């Protein structure tokens, strides 16, 4: 396992305190997590950190990162991420985003294409297809999530994701943390995760890899193809036997797909 | 003591197997379940009932706003209040209210409520709810995390629009208006009394007390359960050095009056069950969108329940439970009077809103309930708290609503 650390990064003179896990050496890589919540040091990040300097911040209002009240819309949030990169002293980065984090990574790449050397979108939000509506993930029950998010809801990673603390107080706090995460996501994309990326996506000219779990019940494969159609410099790779969270369900397969692309 | 008649205007014809076929009476119940011909009958019956309340001497009639649901067929309470403004004479028109964040710009609320106030001769109570999670964040797609901020901004804009006499600029976060200049402006001065429904959060209590408004607790679980929240409100008011005038508080209570306690059960039980089993069937995630309440508020409301047996679902209760637990106050006039008095004194409530039409009650039974209540229950309660002023009551009540030619 690669050595990693929890760090708190002040942004905008300390108005924001960003909680982040960080580890590894190599080119800079930022991972933006999805609506499933802020990321601990997962096997996926650990595999990446064997090749890259990995930064995985928690979005404002989630996982202990504060300052959500200073952000009113997606534009504010994208600017915030640009400032976080400045704060970290990163001039160029590989941006990797999952789902809601993919939407943010794509927006950041459209806003400041020169800052993103390569872009990886994993089962990403950002587009909307009327004939394949994305599930209303704000109201999914645990059972529905198990079914939609995992190819094999019985795998160890899935079981860990759905494990509930037995202590009532801890369970309450865990539920509240999930609500807090969804509230913070909802602030920017409620009720439909379409914020007009198609008007800006032509600015994403850097090499882009689209990775898609083939059994995603939330953002189905159609969206991978739709991104590919809009991004001339992209390739789409299907991760078999994975749902909405391929980086958790099949971390090695995802990293194996990413490495040749990021090193290319 | 003010006793008003509250109406939800429910849809009465949900199929017997509704509960097994649908997860919610709200948000996503297909409107193929709505029969417009029946709807026509309901609206006319319900308006007859509210107009009848006026002739019986109820202090006020109450309407409210809900969307995409079978529980209450008033997406626009102002339309109902407009017809009541013409067809009632003495009762306060308590519009509880307009969910402020749904109107963009909220000038619309300032305008329509001013119209209602003028048409009714100054009988309007302006209700300013945040609105339920179902109505606001799901049916109307509002961002949950911004709902309360929008509500407060809309409130500030409306009050200023009602009280300024020159056009002004409003540069809000959600409302950018170069020319705010509301025509007409309200009859009541400086503006109609404001009542705010809430669900028991500290934030709302403070919001209401900061502005010296009426706090309304609208619960379907009766005065005994509601008392915990209400006492919290009174304690907060005391902490802040406010007086304990009972008219600071409004409360909703379901009431069923019949000749005897036994006949009350015979006449009302099926209707009460329809209400609790069908109308209050709400898919849990719809009832609380993420961000609708602050994490702090949710934690405070959950903590007392930790480790306790959860409250028995209302759908599992029988008539005896409903009556004994005070969800409904039901029985003979004497029984109802006694329990109403107990509730009024326990809660220290000066504005009691009585739900006298419940679920599937037909018009004849609703009239009977209202007649018995007004003749045999109300007189024994009217004088409670008469030593207190009520600065939150519309100024036009008791005045001649419709001017004569000589005016």
pLDDT in tens, chain B (407 residues): 999 999 999 999 999 999 999 999 999 999 999 999 999 999 999 999 999 999 999 999 999 999 999 999 999 999 999 999 999 999 999 999 899 999 999 999 999 999 999 999 999 999 999 999 999 999 999 999 999 999 999 999 999 999 999 999 999 999 999 999 999 999 999 999 999 998 888 888 999 999 999 999 998 888 988 998 999 999 999 999 999 999 999 999 999 999 999 999 999 999 999 999 999 999 999 999 999 999 988 888 887 666 555 556 777 889 999 999 999 999 999 999 999 999 999 999 999 999 999 999 999 999 999 999 999 999 999 999 999 999 999 999 986 545 554 44
The predicted pLDDT at position B407 comes to 43
Contacting residues of A for B145, CB less than 8 Å apart: 68, 183-184, 186-187, 190
Residue A173, judged by CB atoms within 10 A of its CB (0-12, 13-18, 19+), counts as middle
Contact A180 B295 (CB under 8 A): yes
Contacting residues of B for A187, CB less than 8 Å apart: 143, 145-146, 291
Contact B141 A183 (CB under 8 A): no
A176 and chain B in contact, CB less than 8 A: yes
Contact A190 B285 (CB under 8 A): no
What is d(CA B127, CA B124) in angstroms, rounded to the nearest whole number?
Answer: 9
B286 and chain A in contact, CB less than 8 A: yes
Cα four-point dihedral sign B7, B192, B214, B396: negative
Contacting residues of A for B306, CB less than 8 Å apart: 168-169, 172
Region of B230 please: left (phi>0), alpha (psi -120 to 50) or beta. Answer: alpha
Strand B176-180 relative to strand B194-198: parallel, antiparallel, unpaired? unpaired
**Which residues are CB-neighbours of B378 under 8 A, at least 6 positions away?**
B3, B57, B58
Contact A107, A79 (CB under 8 A): no
Contact B144 A190 (CB under 8 A): yes
Strand A16-23 relative to strand A4-11: parallel, antiparallel, unpaired? antiparallel
Q: Distances from the Cα of A82 to the Cαs of A63, A97, A131, in angstroms?
A: 20, 15, 34
The predicted pLDDT at position A38 comes to 84
> In 3-state terms, what secondary structure has residue B123?
coil
What is d(CA B254, CA B331) in angstroms, rounded to the nearest whole number?
Answer: 12
Using CB atoms, pick whichever of A139, A186, A187 lies closest to residue B285. A139
Contacting residues of B for A140, CB less than 8 Å apart: 285
Compute the nearest-CA separation of A142 from chain B (Å): 12
Please identify which residue in the block is written with the tokens 């509500």. Answer: B151
**Which residues are CB-neighbours of B39 under 8 A, at least 6 positions away?**
B11, B73
Q: Which helix or strand (DSSP H or E) is residue A95 part of? A: strand A93-98
Using CB atoms, pick whichever of B143, B283, B306 lies closest to residue A186. B143
The residue among B114, B247, B107, B240 whose CA lies nearest residue B177 is: B107
Contact B9, B43 (CB under 8 A): yes
Contact A98, A33 (CB under 8 A): yes
The predicted pLDDT at position A121 comes to 98
The predicted pLDDT at position B400 comes to 54
What is d(CA A43, CA A101) in angstroms, rounded to the nearest whole number?
Answer: 18
Which residue of chain A comes nearest to B304, CA vs CA?
A: A169
Contact B141 A190 (CB under 8 A): yes
B66 phi, psi to nearest 5 deg: -145, 160
Contact A179 B145 (CB under 8 A): no
Q: How many beta-carbon pairs below 8 A join chains A and B?
A: 62
Compute the nearest-CA separation of B338 from chain A (Å): 41
DSSP β-bridge partners for residue B254? B328, B355
Contacting residues of B for A184, CB less than 8 Å apart: 145, 291
A166 and chain B in contact, CB less than 8 A: no
What is d(CA A127, CA A121) in angstroms, rounded to the nearest whole number?
Answer: 12
Q: Which helix or strand (DSSP H or E) is residue A121 part of? A: strand A116-122
B172 and chain A in contact, CB less than 8 A: no
* Low-confidence residues in chain A, pLDDT < 70: none
Contact B291 A182 (CB under 8 A): yes
The predicted pLDDT at position B248 comes to 98
Which of A139, A174, A175 would you mutate first to test chain B, the one with the most B CBs within 10 A?
A: A139
Paired tokens of B46: 């319900």
pTM, full prediction: 0.95
Q: Is the ipTM beyond the 0.90 threshold?
A: yes
Which of A36, A145, A182, A191 would you mutate first to test chain B, the one with the most B CBs within 10 A?
A: A191
Contacting residues of A for B134, CB less than 8 Å apart: none
B291 and chain A in contact, CB less than 8 A: yes
The predicted pLDDT at position B313 comes to 72
Paired tokens of B338: 């006694």
Compute the nearest-CA separation of A224 from chain B (Å): 27
Contact A183 B291 (CB under 8 A): yes
B289 and chain A in contact, CB less than 8 A: yes
Contact A172 B299 (CB under 8 A): yes
B144 and chain A in contact, CB less than 8 A: yes
Contacting residues of B for A72, CB less than 8 Å apart: 146, 173
The residue among B217, B25, B219 whose CA lies nearest residue B138 is: B25
Contacting residues of B for A186, CB less than 8 Å apart: 143-145, 289-291
Residue B327, judged by CB atoms within 10 A of its CB (0-12, 13-18, 19+), counts as buried
Contact B290 A186 (CB under 8 A): yes
What is d(CA B143, CA B182) in angstroms, rounded to the nearest whole number?
Answer: 27
What is d(CA A249, CA A238) in angstroms, rounded to the nearest whole number?
Answer: 14
């Amino acid at each position: 396992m690669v050595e990693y650390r929890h760090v708190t990064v002040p942004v905008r003179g300390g108005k924001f305190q960003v909680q982040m896990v960080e580890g590894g050496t190599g080119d800079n890589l930022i991972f933006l997590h999805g609506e499933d919540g802020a990321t601990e040091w997962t096997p996926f990040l650990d595999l990446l950190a064997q090749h890259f300097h990995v930064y995985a911040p928690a979005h404002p209002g989630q996982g202990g990162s504060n300052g959500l009240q200073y952000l009113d819309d997606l534009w504010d949030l994208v600017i915030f991420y640009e400032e976080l990169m400045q704060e970290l002293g990163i001039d160029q980065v590989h941006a990797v985003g999952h789902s809601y984090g993919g939407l943010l990574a794509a927006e950041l790449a459209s806003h400041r294409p020169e800052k993103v050397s390569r872009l990886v979108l994993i089962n990403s939000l950002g587009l909307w297809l009327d004939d394949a509506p994305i599930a209303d993930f704000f109201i999914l029950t645990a059972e529905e999530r198990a079914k939609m998010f995992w190819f094999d809801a019985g795998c160890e990673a899935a079981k860990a994701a759905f494990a509930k603390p037995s202590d009532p107080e801890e369970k309450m706090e865990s539920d509240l943390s999930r609500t807090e995460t969804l509230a913070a996501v909802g602030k920017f994309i409620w009720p439909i995760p379409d914020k007009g990326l198609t008007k800006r996506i032509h600015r994403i000219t850097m090499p882009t890899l689209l990775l898609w779990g083939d059994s995603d019940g939330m953002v189905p494969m159609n969206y991978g193809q739709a991104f590919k159609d809009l991004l001339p410099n992209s390739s789409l790779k299907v991760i078999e036997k994975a749902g909405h969270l391929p980086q958790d369900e099949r971390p090695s397969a995802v990293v194996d797909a990413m490495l040749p692309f990021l090193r290319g | 003591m003010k006793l008003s008649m509250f109406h939800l205007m429910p849809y009465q014809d949900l199929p017997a197997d509704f509960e097994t076929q649908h997860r919610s009476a709200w948000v996503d119940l297909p409107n193929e379940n709505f029969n417009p011909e029946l709807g026509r009958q309901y609206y006319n019956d319900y308006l007859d009932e509210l107009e009848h309340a006026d002739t019986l001497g109820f202090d006020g009639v109450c309407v409210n706003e809900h969307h995409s649901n079978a529980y209450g067929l008033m997406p626009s309470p102002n339309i109902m209040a407009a017809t009541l403004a013409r067809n009632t004479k003495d009762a306060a028109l308590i519009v509880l209210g307009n969910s402020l964040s749904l109107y963009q710009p909220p000038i619309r609320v300032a305008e329509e409520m001013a119209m209602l106030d003028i048409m009714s001769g100054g009988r309007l109570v302006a209700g300013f709810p945040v609105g339920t999670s179902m109505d606001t964040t799901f049916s109307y797609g509002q961002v949950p995390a911004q709902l309360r901020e929008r509500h407060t901004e809309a409130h500030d804009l409306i009050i200023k629009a009602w009280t300024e006499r020159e056009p002004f600029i409003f540069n809000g976060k959600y409302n950018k208006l170069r020319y705010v200049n509301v025509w007409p402006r309200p009859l009541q001065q400086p503006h109609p009394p404001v009542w705010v429904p809430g669900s028991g959060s500290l934030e709302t209590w403070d919001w209401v007390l900061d502005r010296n408004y009426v706090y309304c607790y609208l619960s379907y679980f009766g005065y005994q359960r509601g008392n915990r929240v209400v006492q919290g409100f009174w304690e907060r008011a005391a902490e802040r050095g406010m007086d304990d005038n009972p008219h600071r508080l409004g409360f909703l209570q379901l009431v069923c009056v019949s000749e005897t306690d036994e006949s009350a059960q015979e006449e009302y039980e099926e209707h009460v069950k329809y209400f609790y089993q069908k109308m209050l069937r709400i898919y849990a995630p719809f009832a609380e969108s993420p961000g609708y309440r602050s994490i702090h508020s949710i934690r405070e409301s959950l903590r007392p329940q930790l480790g306790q047996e959860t409250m028995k679902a209302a759908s599992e209760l029988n008539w005896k439970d409903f009556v004994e637990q005070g969800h409904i106050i039901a029985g003979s006039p004497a029984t109802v009077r006694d329990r109403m008095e107990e509730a009024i004194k326990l809660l220290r409530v000066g504005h009691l809103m009585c739900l006298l039409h419940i679920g599937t009650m037909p018009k004849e039974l609703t009239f009977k309930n209202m007649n018995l209540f007004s003749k045999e229950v109300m007189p024994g309660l009217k004088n409670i708290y008469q030593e207190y002023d009520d600065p939150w009551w519309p100024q036009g009540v008791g005045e001649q609503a419709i001017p004569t030619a000589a005016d």
